[in-house]
Amino acid sequence: MKNNLLLKTLLPALIAAGICTYIVIQYNRFMTTPLNISEPVQFIVTPGSNLKRISEELYERNITSISPIYLQLYGRANESASRIKAGEYQLLPDDTLPDVLNRLVSGKVIMNSMTIVEGMTAQSLVDMVSANVKIKHTLENPDVAAVMAALGQADQNGEGWFLPETYHFPTDTTDIEFLARANKQMHEVLDNAWEYRAKDLPYTSPYEALIMASIIEKETAVADERPEIAGVFVRRLQKGMRLQTDPTVIYGIRKNFDGNLRKKDLTTDTPYNTYTRSGLPPTPICLPSRESINAALHPASGDSLYFVATGTDGRHIFSSNLADHNKAVRKYQLKK
């Protein structure tokens, strides 16, 4: 009877001690157990998701084998449940559930990247953005005119107005958000370069410098040649000579261009034919790089007025008079 009495006396304490031990074990397990994954997993938190739903999804997808209730209690206890940010996250094999919650609260989402390549056209950029599955598409008509209207620049031809470089962005960034960023970057780069431009340039506005930069971009892929090519074109404008540059002609007939530029193309007048028209074309012909913008605004000095491709490494031979230029054409283009 004494044993029964002793057991009745101790039983509540034993039960309480057992519960406490169990809680401590489960808490330690929650705090230290890595996720049930062997490689990184992408996890998307949609706008409006709460911690209950997130914890249940982690359990249902077998990302963790720990009951959802522990993450819910932990999030409420440290007041982080209401601070979760939507986005796409990467969960790592060594992460614990507290690590996961900290990441969701920090907003350290996966950053995608896309490179705007110098020399591509604005429409090619819009097409590339429209094809990217990580970007949220909001444009009904994915063309340059629609983009410029959405950016509040409907009066601008969009060619040239997006800066080529690599951009990082979270999943579900909208097409307009991405393009607005590239557009803003181009305005900032051009305005800054214009402020520190060389003296006595034949441009009346930053836009004309942008047009020239686009021509330079299409004429050479060799970085150290850009200022020299800019110098040729600047001197031709200053002397009243026509630019006579093939890339502008190609841009003017781009829908009909089959890869071969013929004599009839050079003599057929379009607003972009710099063989038949003097001065700069009406708009840029591509998206120019920072380097081409700087070259347009800081052309190399000299007396060259002509250049011709050598067919080697994309480089050119420069000449100050037509006779030398014709010799270079015969040597490098006609192989005579």
Are 189 and 240 contained in the same domain?
yes
**20 lies in some domain:** yes
The single residue listed with the structure tokens 């913008």 is 293
Are 182 and 270 contained in the same domain?
yes
**135 lies in some domain:** yes
Please say whether the beta carbons of 290 and 190 come within 8 A.
no
Span 297-312, average pLDDT? 90
- Indicate the residue among 75, 106, 137 that finishes a domain: 106
Side chain identity, residue 280: L
**322 lies in some domain:** no
Are 117 and 83 contained in the same domain?
no
Question: What is the rounded distance in angstroms from the CA atom of residue 248 to the CA atom of residue 216?
Answer: 10
User: In this model, does residue 207 exceed pLDDT 80?
Assistant: yes
Least confident of 48-52, 68-72, 192-196, 308-312: 308-312
User: What rounded mean pLDDT belongs to the chain?
Assistant: 90
**What's the pTM?**
0.83
Span 92-106, average pLDDT? 94
**330 lies in some domain:** no
**316 lies in some domain:** no
- Indicate the residue among 106, 140, 166 that finishes a domain: 106
Least confident of 22-31, 271-280, 306-315: 22-31
Half-sphere exposure of 50 (CA within 13 A, CB side): 6
Between residues 285 and 314, the one the model is more confident about: 285
CATH code of the domain containing 37: 3.30.1490.480
Alpha helix ranges (H) inside the chain: 2-32, 51-60, 68-77, 97-106, 122-131, 144-150, 175-195, 206-219, 226-238, 246-252, 263-267, 290-297, 322-328
The single residue listed with the structure tokens 């013929």 is 262
Domains contained in the chain, number: 3
Are 264 and 281 contained in the same domain?
yes
Strand bridging mode 166-170 / 306-309? unpaired
Are 148 and 227 contained in the same domain?
yes
User: In this model, does residue 211 exceed pLDDT 70?
Assistant: yes
Please give the pLDDT value at position 7: 47
**pLDDT confidence band for 12 (50 / 70 / 90):** low
Please give the pLDDT value at position 243: 96
Are 93 and 196 contained in the same domain?
no
Please say whether the beta carbons of 237 and 243 come within 8 A.
yes
Are 57 and 133 contained in the same domain?
no
Question: What is the rounded distance in angstroms from the CA atom of residue 65 to the CA atom of residue 35?
Answer: 8
Are 72 and 117 contained in the same domain?
no
Name the DSSP letter for residue 174: E
Highest mean pLDDT among 2-11, 83-92, 254-263, 280-289 belongs to 280-289
Are 153 and 283 contained in the same domain?
yes
**40 lies in some domain:** yes
Are 135 and 203 contained in the same domain?
yes
Span 232-246, average pLDDT? 95
Please give the pLDDT value at position 259: 74
Are 272 and 176 contained in the same domain?
yes
Please give the pLDDT value at position 6: 46
Are 86 and 22 contained in the same domain?
no
What residues make up the domain containing 4? 1-29
